[in-house]
């Protein structure tokens, strides 16, 4: 089974609505690294390891103090459409006046944050807010360090609060959504506590990178807590080049906001990178490693200018500040259906159980319980068929309960659901993990010359390519058969000693890429007995269907 062998890294996702690499879009991509609640889906710092589960870590926001009353229902009249894109359940609640008016404001250094509306049900607590910070140059962005909740006595509530903040250019202000899995039991007094507000800007520093060289190249940075960057190009076929980079810091905290990445320019225009890049991979030494992909034809040596792009904090507004709130989910309870399931993910599966389903006026949440911590479910595509409609939504891993996964589906504006509405869970594209630590292969004649070894693993052809660059041994694996999902981490046995390969690539199960690269630093010798921890097999046509709620009965339950 898949495990988290290292801390998860965060990935910056592309935002289809804003052309890359607009700085605002960058932060919107970071927001997606955020979830919709304390189960991680999140913003700030991306994370995962080759063929591992991805926990999206929630973004944090911040601000507070001095509470002021404002007009009732004002938030519902604001144009929140684009902010709520993908949040149809929240839109539906607002249209039905099911939101709880807050209208509390805080002003610091001329910047005003206003909590507008709370939407509370049995699945989540959502707070909509606005932030007025004045004129915003294109290269700048305000965001918050973190939010937390406390009870009426000021004691911390165990809950992750994610923050999604977007710039509204026409109105020259930010719209934000705070979201958490925590919900009040009844009419509950709580404190929303914000830390500091930060103003970020995007910076660039030119680097003399030669993409035609296959040797590692190092460049001094000496800015914003970053010491240097080491970059190594790898050719992966005729139409893909990978830049594996590692940034070292003398101020470790900078990693949580710098997001360094390589950008390329030709004739003053930025070259769009290929998809699949990963950022913020831990390398075991506290450094920040990334993998980025480009088409070699787009970045010819001598005609391309490369720069290191990163984020800098220019100003902070101190906190903490506190909002005193009284939250209730009474308005939502009449439209809530909770169903205990305890059904296997597929016939014969005792590892993954569909535990329960909670339907509220804003969302359908399916809870899956696994046998191991942070275990991936074997199906990579998943959806719910609700009354004949196919609905999709993100998957979240819980920080508080590592055996719990939640599939969250926003309810469409026009979707009516009752206890008689048929609901089916559908999983597609199965990925099976095979552990085989006993299988080994002999690498012979190790030198600076590339050598290949053709093998068969799980019935699929797999080619090993190995060579030395300087003192380091590189081992590349891959298969021409797309059903072979790839090899995870490799290791070399030297007597009773096990040498772990450092992973230079960070692939994901079911991503269609089975090529991987490991490096063994300061390797001595001309032969090696190499092993793998596990490999995966992809079955794109495999499907599982589980009925969560059967069709109409005679119960006559009302539609919600």
Question: Confidence class of residue 25 from pLDDT cuts 50, 70 and 90?
Answer: very low
Domain match, 217 and 197 both: no
Q: In angstroms, rounded to a whole number, what is the distance separating the alpha carbons of residues 533 and 409?
A: 35
The pLDDT mean for the chain works out to: 82
Domain match, 516 and 497 both: yes
Domain match, 535 and 443 both: yes
* C-alpha triplet 51, 56, 57: angle, nearest 5°: 130
| pLDDT at 548 exceeding the cut of 80 | yes
Taking a C-beta distance cutoff of 8 angstroms, is the pair 428, 382 a contact? Answer: yes
Q: What is the pTM of this model?
A: 0.75
Domain match, 476 and 388 both: no
* C-alpha triplet 373, 376, 381: angle, nearest 5°: 155
Q: H or E element: which one contains 91? A: helix 88-95
Q: Where are the beta strands (DSSP E) in 212-349?
A: 217-223, 226-235, 241-249, 261-266, 269-270, 274-282, 288-294, 305-317, 321-327, 337-344
Q: H or E element: which one contains 30? A: helix 23-32
Question: Going by C-beta distance under 8 Å and a sequence separation of 6 or more, which residues neighbour residue 254?
Answer: 224, 225, 226
How confident is the model over 127-145, as a mean pLDDT?
90
Domain boundary among 360, 392, 421: 421
Domain annotation covers residue 550:
no
Q: Where are the beta strands (DSSP E) in 123-216?
A: 125-132, 140-144, 147-151, 162-168, 173-180, 188-194, 197-207
Q: Which range among 264-268, 329-333, 399-403 shows the weakest confidence by mean pLDDT?
A: 329-333
Domain match, 254 and 389 both: no
Question: Confidence class of residue 71 from pLDDT cuts 50, 70 and 90?
Answer: very low
Taking a C-beta distance cutoff of 8 angstroms, is the pair 358, 365 a contact? Answer: yes
CATH code, domain with 158: 2.60.40.1630
Cα distance between the two ends of the chain: 39
pLDDT, residue 79, reads: 52
CA distances to 92, 278, 319, 382 from 430, in Å = 34, 23, 47, 10
Q: In 359-511, which residue ranges form alpha helices assigned H by DSSP? A: none
Domain annotation covers residue 197:
yes
Question: Confidence class of residue 153 from pLDDT cuts 50, 70 and 90?
Answer: confident
Domain annotation covers residue 141:
yes
Q: Residue 421: phi, psi to the nearest 5?
A: -80, 120
Quick: pLDDT tens for 454-476.
999 999 999 999 999 999 999 99
Quick: pLDDT tens for 173-186.
999 999 998 988 87
| pLDDT at 22 exceeding the cut of 50 | no
Query: Using CA atoms in the order 175, 30, 196, 397, what is the torsion angle rounded to 10 degrees?
Result: 100
Question: Confidence class of residue 73 from pLDDT cuts 50, 70 and 90?
Answer: very low
Quick: pLDDT tens for 288-341.
999 999 999 999 999 999 999 999 999 999 988 789 999 988 877 777 899 999
Domain annotation covers residue 226:
yes
How confident is the model over 15-41, as a mean pLDDT?
34
Q: Supply the range of the domain harboring residue 147.
A: 88-201+319-327
Domain annotation covers residue 142:
yes
| pLDDT at 479 exceeding the cut of 50 | yes
| pLDDT at 519 exceeding the cut of 70 | yes
Quick: pLDDT tens for 243-259.
999 999 999 899 989 99
Domain match, 175 and 231 both: no
Domain boundary among 366, 392, 421: 421
| pLDDT at 35 exceeding the cut of 60 | no
Domain annotation covers residue 134:
yes
Domain match, 234 and 215 both: yes
Q: Per the structure, how many domains does the chain have?
A: 4
pLDDT, residue 24, reads: 36
The token pair at 496 is 């009773």
How do 337-344 and 352-359 pair as beta strands? antiparallel
Domain annotation covers residue 99:
yes
Question: Going by C-beta distance under 8 Å and a sequence separation of 6 or more, which residues neighbour residue 248?
Answer: 226, 227, 228, 229, 230, 287
The token pair at 140 is 């700048």
Domain annotation covers residue 38:
no
pLDDT, residue 83, reads: 66
Domain match, 511 and 450 both: yes
Please give the residue that has the higher pLDDT: either 273 or 136. Answer: 273
Please give the residue that has the higher pLDDT: either 538 or 77. Answer: 538
Q: How far is CA 41 from the centre of its chain?
A: 6
How confident is the model over 140-148, as a mean pLDDT?
92
How confident is the model over 377-388, as a mean pLDDT?
94
Domain match, 102 and 151 both: yes
Task: Give residue for tokens 């309810």.
Answer: 411
Q: In angstroms, rounded to a whole number, what is the distance separating the alpha carbons of residues 403 and 471?
A: 42
Q: In angstroms, rounded to a whole number, what is the distance separating the alpha carbons of residues 106 and 322?
A: 9
Query: Using CA atoms in the order 143, 147, 152, 157, what is the torsion angle rounded to 10 degrees?
Result: 170
Quick: pLDDT tens for 198-247.
999 999 999 999 999 988 999 999 998 999 999 999 988 788 999 999 99
Domain match, 262 and 395 both: no
Domain boundary among 367, 399, 421: 421
Domain match, 278 and 350 both: no
Domain match, 444 and 379 both: no
């Amino acid at each position: 089974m898949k495990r988290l062998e290292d801390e998860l890294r965060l990935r910056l996702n592309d935002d289809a609505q804003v052309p890359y690499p607009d700085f605002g879009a960058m932060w919107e991509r970071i927001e997606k690294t955020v979830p919709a609640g304390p189960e991680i889906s999140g913003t700030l710092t991306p994370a995962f390891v080759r063929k591992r589960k991805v926990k999206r870590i929630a973004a944090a926001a911040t601000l507070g103090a001095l509470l002021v009353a404002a007009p009732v229902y004002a938030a519902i009249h604001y144009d929140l459409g684009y902010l709520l894109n993908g949040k149809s359940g929240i839109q539906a609640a607002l249209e039905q006046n099911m939101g709880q008016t807050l209208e509390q404001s805080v002003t610091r250094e001329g910047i005003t944050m206003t909590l507008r509306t709370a939407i509370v049900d049995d699945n989540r607590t959502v707070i909509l807010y606005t932030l007025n910070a004045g004129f915003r140059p294109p290269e700048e962005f305000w965001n918050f360090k973190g939010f937390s909740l406390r009870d009426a006595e000021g004691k911390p509530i165990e809950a992750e609060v994610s923050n999604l903040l977007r710039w509204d250019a026409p109105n020259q202000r930010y719209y934000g959504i705070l979201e958490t899995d925590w919900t009040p039991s009844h009419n509950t007094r709580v404190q929303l506590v914000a830390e500091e507000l930060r103003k970020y800007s995007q910076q660039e520093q030119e680097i003399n990178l030669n993409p035609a060289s296959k040797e590692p190249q190092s460049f001094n940075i000496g800015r914003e807590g970053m010491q240097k960057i080491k970059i190594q190009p790898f050719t992966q076929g005729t139409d893909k080049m990978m830049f594996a980079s590692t940034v070292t810091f003398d101020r470790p905290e900078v990693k949580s906001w710098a997001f360094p990445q390589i950008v390329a320019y030709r004739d003053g225009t930025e070259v769009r990178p290929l998809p699949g890049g990963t950022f913020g991979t831990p390398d075991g030494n506290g450094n920040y490693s990334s993998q980025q992909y480009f088409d070699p034809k787009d970045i010819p040596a001598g005609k391309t200018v490369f720069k290191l792009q990163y984020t800098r904090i220019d100003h902070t507004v101190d906190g903490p500040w506190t909002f005193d709130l009284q939250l209730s989910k009474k308005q939502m309870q009449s439209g809530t259906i909770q169903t205990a399931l305890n059904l296997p993910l597929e016939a014969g599966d005792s590892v993954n159980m569909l535990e329960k389903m909670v339907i509220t006026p804003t969302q359908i949440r399916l809870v899956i319980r696994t046998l191991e911590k942070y275990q991936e479910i074997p199906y990579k595509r998943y959806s719910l068929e609700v009354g004949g409609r196919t609905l999709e939504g993100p998957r979240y891993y819980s920080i508080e309960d590592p055996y719990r996964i939640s599939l969250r589906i926003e309810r469409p504006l026009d979707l009516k659901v009752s206890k008689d509405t048929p609901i089916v869970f559908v999983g597609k594209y199965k990925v099976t993990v095979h552990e085989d630590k006993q299988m080994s292969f002999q690498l012979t004649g190790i030198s600076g010359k590339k050598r290949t070894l053709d093998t068969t693993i799980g019935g699929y052809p797999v080619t090993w390519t190995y060579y030395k660059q300087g003192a380091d041994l590189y081992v590349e694996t891959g298969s021409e058969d797309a059903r072979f999902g790839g090899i995870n981490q490799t290791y070399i046995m030297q007597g009773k000693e096990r040498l772990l390969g450092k992973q230079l690539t960070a692939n994901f199960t079911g991503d269609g890429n089975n090529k991987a690269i490991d490096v063994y630093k300061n390797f001595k010798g001309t032969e090696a007995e190499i092993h793998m921890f596990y490999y995966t097999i992809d079955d794109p046509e495999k499907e599982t269907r589980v009925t969560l709620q059967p069709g109409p009965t005679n119960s006559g339950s009302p539609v919600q």
